[in-house]
Structure 1
């Protein structure tokens, strides 16, 4: 035989033998491949290439592949990690006997982690004329206690939404009770009363008829129609008068202070499509309630809590107890306490008499926000339960704008800024508080270069010479304009910046920032004059305005306003704004404003209030008279527990800022109203 041919034949023989050896994988090599597919969740490959004949006959592709794929989705299974204990080196395998391997399974589920160990066997079989090792499988490799006929189930326990309390533990937004309104068909027979019910619940005849025509309805059964807050007593009383209309208690979010705290608390409601799109990955569904406005929305992640989830095996044997596979306990939402004094907030809101405006109260010793009011408010429960389009339109078109949150907005502060202007001049050394200035007439201008622009004062009867005290008591615009010109634009702007104008308010609730002007600069001497008494382009937030007055009671410190009791008290925002000596001068004059000036409506016999009024004139069109917003910022000069700032819109026909001083006085002494 040719030697070359013999060599080739030998090589081919060796290659054939090696190929045969590669087809005959060891049990460990087969298990390794199987585990690799398992870790990837590739159940198709596991079924088609690795299961033994008996397993396939018992479970079929549906029982193996589809079931496990569905379980992965339903149970939130991810991060599967399957390992096995390797056999000793050079282990010899008997094809007549099963090959056994300890395996370890770890996975995460929506109810928490699951781990278990089992023994997996591989048997040597011939499939499609090829011999190999194949896996013996049963349902216990899904979960150890799972039998072939058992069911895997999942149950959820919704968390209680966290509650919002005031500083004294009084409820602001809580999980309380309301009423489900229903009809007992056998007693609801009066068509006139049906029309009345439709009007009261703002629904339709078709909706009522559809509810009553459901297949399960019987004459003596309660048929739910609507839900009503338990605070809506006028509506409930009218509903009680309709024969066949009943009510029963049902769990419901409650807002005990209603309109008074509405803009701050906001409300919950069924999740919107837009919110669902953003929060889908957080487990929300289209039927969930979510914070829709105010603190309910701002604190959603803290208030929501975490639902409890239990994955368990429902055993097929009668009377057998269910077996828990994994369980995540329910975590209720947080209870959050505010710095707000709900009673003070309510008294302030009531004192505003439904007028359009805003108020803020701060503790000058800590910076805590005690009240944050926007008036008029709205009924949060009305929105929570689902407001009708007509009702929403009615609120939206209301000229008092009850849906507009005024405490987040900014307004020209008018003369309430004059004590701040005085502070800047005193600290800069350009304002001598005892030096009098002779001012004649109602108007004044620096010189002819000002053209038609003149500064106007309201009280030209103020006796000359005008010093700082008289300027504050008579709220003299000309005095403060001249003082601002004496200190100059740079000193004035820098001084206002030191009070925080032009920067973001360090507050937990979104607020519009106060400003010196649109550009943050003063472009002309005329603008400087206007800005010195809170006009021009100056705008302040009501909370910021109240905080600025802290410096007169703290010898120059202004604290960061806080909203949550968990926040640290007395965090310094600004300091060194006024000396103790100059602060005492301003305090004395602010008391004189109430005693001798134009805030005498707040001159209570037993409560020595001190403060400053202000009127801001809004630009008018040629056809309309300009609107005036009235302000009053005040505190009890003997017990400075809080500073209260209030603004009322449109006071031009209602005694101006003196009217606001009267309203504020009722907060300090409601019984003396």
Structure 2
């Protein structure tokens, strides 16, 4: 009896272990493979005989993989509605399960529901439940004969305007050169095309092998300026090559604003990797320099993308699957006065240098330029290696952004030295100093070091007014000694030396010295007239003259029009009495001094010249850079700081004053 019972229990146990899978079990296993994109397993282990006879592995496995790649499928999630626990399955009847399918694509999310039908079949002596399948499980309404079409709706890049609404960067028109594959029959022409369009054969092949490409479709390869007629003529001699009009960036102020505005250009492999999660493709343009690069996220916008089904019949209407509309980039307005910028650039005559202008009452930057410059449109379309080499080896360095650098300011710093001395009580503007000879040193402890001056004919006793008119180094060296190293250093820091300039762009900060200190009396003397190790940025130079007009306030320089203005950077720098004294003296520098080239009838310009000698070695002189910082005394709408490199053969800083005068003249004419 016990033996019979044991046999019965064992028989029941074996029956339980060999129980067949239910449709619910099969759905769960099938969906797990689906969610893991294991298409081969799905095909081999789960599909009905009829399904496999209708759809081979290319249709099921390869097509799904390619569409997943081309359409950017991510976050695939397939679920099903579970049956009731007590559901009884009839092998003679199909089992039907509602399936929910969702995924993210390049055109946005797709979410749809299908019914997944299972049949009980025998496959190679194995009985089980198998699923029906067709391409509509990939995308709604898709059939095996349909094609998938991807359409991109390009977002318009935001424009860059000056303060008056003049466009500095705008969306104009040009051409997109490309291939019609069915007519491009000579494969050997790829090398020629790649060279003409400054791209690679590999990139051309990648463009042609996209899933949406058809023989009669236009496949874009590279942008071409509408003015480049020579290149367009060469392109159309190649069978299958054509071009279509397309939007293209234009820079109306060209070279005058190139270093500031920058340009967009074809994205590089390095940039594509850097921005790999931001939706860029190899055909995109991206900000490469200047504000175009700095403000890329605001200017770029977001392209719209649509995924559509196209039926096999001729002229079939596209069936939209999912579509995301384009979001245009934001327009940006600057504080820059583009016309004043161009007048300043033209006045500099292509000489190497930099200029900046600020509104002294608000801190708004009106001019910021580097000279000489380059054509941003040329770089936007992809400058050739030969052309880039020529520009980079040009001794005038047109690619170098001088307004971002810092230079020894020379005598243009003397009004600041004077202001510090007056405020400290060590400099009496009316008290004259008797200075004899061309050189001077405090005593023998200075060794061989002496302060030199260019105009020993300056009248004695020398007061502040004449010291500025004659730009007397010895006078300012003696005043700095009276102030003292510690107080002079502290006061220069109050003017922003030694700290980052609070500005949108990354500018080299002005410095008192390499380590921020003044280590000797000789260095103190040099620093008092902008030599030694002192360096100043051109925008900062314009800004530090603001206190003469504002009675002691320096505003943070701004560049974006929607930034808050009159944000105080430094205040209480000098009194009204000190400001009035220096305004009088700076006007006399132009009337009676060495900036008389800027002494224009009916335009009372005030300012200070400066010449900084850059030594090649201890005993060998190098080039001299000239400065002129100026404003209109009657209407100080802007302070203009201009620097020209190597003016030793051009009347020194007087050459710069003449250029600045031309800016005021041109502005007055309008």
**How would you bin the TM-score normalised by the shorter chain?**
0.7 to 0.9
SS in 2 for 1:553: helix
| 2:480 match | 484
The 3-state SS of whatever aligns with 2:76 is strand
| 1:533 Cα offset (Å) | 0.8
Q: Report if aligned partners of 1:229, 1:254 keep a CA contact under 8 Å in 2.
A: no
Aligned with residue 15 of structure 2, among 14, 17, 33:
17
Taking the TM superposition and a 5 Å limit, the aligned residue runs for 1:384-403 are 384-403=380-399
1:98 to 90, 94, 97: 94
The yes-or-no answer on 1:502 pairing with 2:502 is no
Would you say the 8 A contact 2:94–2:118 is kept in 1?
yes
Which of 60, 76, 79 in structure 2 is aligned with 1:80?
76
- Secondary structure of 1:174's match? strand
Distance 1:434 1:136 in 2: 103
Change (3 A) 1:307 1:510: same
Counterpart residue number, 2:191: none
> Which one is further off, 30-39 or 384-393?
384-393
Q: Give the match for residue 379 of structure 2.
A: 383
1:229–1:381 Cα contact (<8 Å) kept:
no
Structure 1 residue 445 displacement after superposition:
1.0
Map 1:599-638 onto structure 2 (within 5 A): 599-621=595-617, 625-638=621-634
Cα offset, 1:534, TM superposition: 0.3
Distance 1:480 1:466 in 2: 11
Alignment of 1:465-544 (within 5 A): 465-544=461-540
Distance in 2, matches of 1:250 and 1:139, equals: 36
Query: TM-score, normalised on structure 2?
Result: 0.85
Matched-pair contact (CA < 8 Å) for 2:624–2:645: yes
State whether residues 307 and 329 of structure 1, in contact with CA within 8 Å, keep that contact through their aligned partners in structure 2. Answer: yes
Cα distance in structure 1, aligned partners of 2:176 and 2:40: 51
Q: Kindly tell me: are residues 393 and 622 of structure 1, through their superposed partners in 2, closer, same or farther at Cα, counting changes over 3 Å? A: farther
Structure-2 residue corresponding to 1:129: 125
Aligned partner (choices 656, 660, 666) of residue 656 of structure 2: 660
Cα offset, 1:650, TM superposition:
1.6
| Residues 394 and 43 (structure 1), Cα distance of their counterparts in 2 relative to 1, 3 Å cut | closer
Aligned residue among 250, 253, 257 for 2:249: 253
Q: State the secondary structure of the residue aligned to 1:132.
A: strand
Out of 391, 412, 416, the residue aligned to residue 412 of structure 2 is: 416
1:171 matched residue in structure 2? 167
2:27 corresponding residue in structure 1: 31
Partners of 2:79 and 2:323 in 1: CA distance: 24
2:573 is the counterpart of 1:577: yes
Cα distance, 1:323 vs structure 2: 1.1
- The CA distance in 1 between the partners of 2:246 and 2:8, in whole Å, is 89
Distance in 2 (CA, whole Å) between partners of 1:384 and 1:67 is: 38
State the partner residue of 1:338: 334
- Out of 301, 316, 327, the residue aligned to residue 312 of structure 2 is 316
1:506 shift after superposition: 1.9
Structure 1 residue 319, shift from structure 2 partner: 5.5
1:370 aligns with 2:370: no
Matches within 5 A, 1:423-434: 423-434=419-430
1:146-196 deviation digits (Å, cap 9, x = unpaired): 233222221223333333222112122223246999xxxxxxxxxxxxxxx
Task: Report whether the alignment pairs 1:559 with 2:541.
Answer: no
Q: Is this contact kept in 2: 1:615–1:657, CA < 8 A?
A: yes
Q: Which one is further off, 609-618 or 83-92?
A: 83-92
Give secondary structure in 1 for the equivalent of 2:485: helix
The 1-side partners of 2:226 and 2:506 are apart by 29
Partner of 2:346: 350
1:669 partner SS: helix
* Match 2:153 to one of 151, 157, 176: 157
Residue in 2 aligned with 1:195?
none
CA distance in 2, matches of 1:298, 1:537: 31
**Structure 1 residue 301: deviation in Å?**
3.5
Residue 63 of structure 1 corresponds to which residue in structure 2? 59
CA–CA distance in structure 1, aligned partners of residues 606 and 42 of structure 2 = 83
Output the CA distance in 1 between the equivalents of 2:580 and 2:668: 29
Name the counterpart of 2:274: 278
Deviations 1:306-347 (A, max 9, x none): 322110111235665321001122233332222111110111
Task: Tell me how far 1:249 sits from its aligned partner.
Answer: 8.4
Deviation of the 1:389 alpha carbon: 4.4
CA distance in structure 1 between the aligned counterparts of 2:626 and 2:517, rounded to whole angstroms: 26
Deviation at 1:428, TM superposition (A): 3.0
Cα RMSD (Å) of the superposition? 3.1
SS at match of 1:441: coil
CA contact (8 A) 1:98 1:121 kept: yes
Normalising by structure 1, report the TM-score.
0.85
CA contact (8 A) 1:152 1:311 kept: yes
Q: Which runs of 5+ in 1 are unaligned?
A: 182-201, 204-224, 240-246
Q: Is residue 435 of structure 1 aligned with residue 431 of structure 2? A: yes
Change (3 A) 1:335 1:315: same
CA change 1:229–1:521 in 2 (3 A) is: farther
Distance 1:494 1:624 in 2: 32
**Gap change, CA 1:78 and 1:353, over 3 Å in 2:** same
Partner of residue 206, structure 1: none
Partner Cα distance (1:318, 1:660) in 2 = 71
Residue 464, structure 1, aligned to residue 460, structure 2: yes
State the Cα distance separating 1:448 from its structure 2 match: 0.5
Aligned pair partner of 1:451 in 447, 464, 470: 447
Q: CA–CA distance in 1 between the matches of 2:412 and 2:576?
A: 20
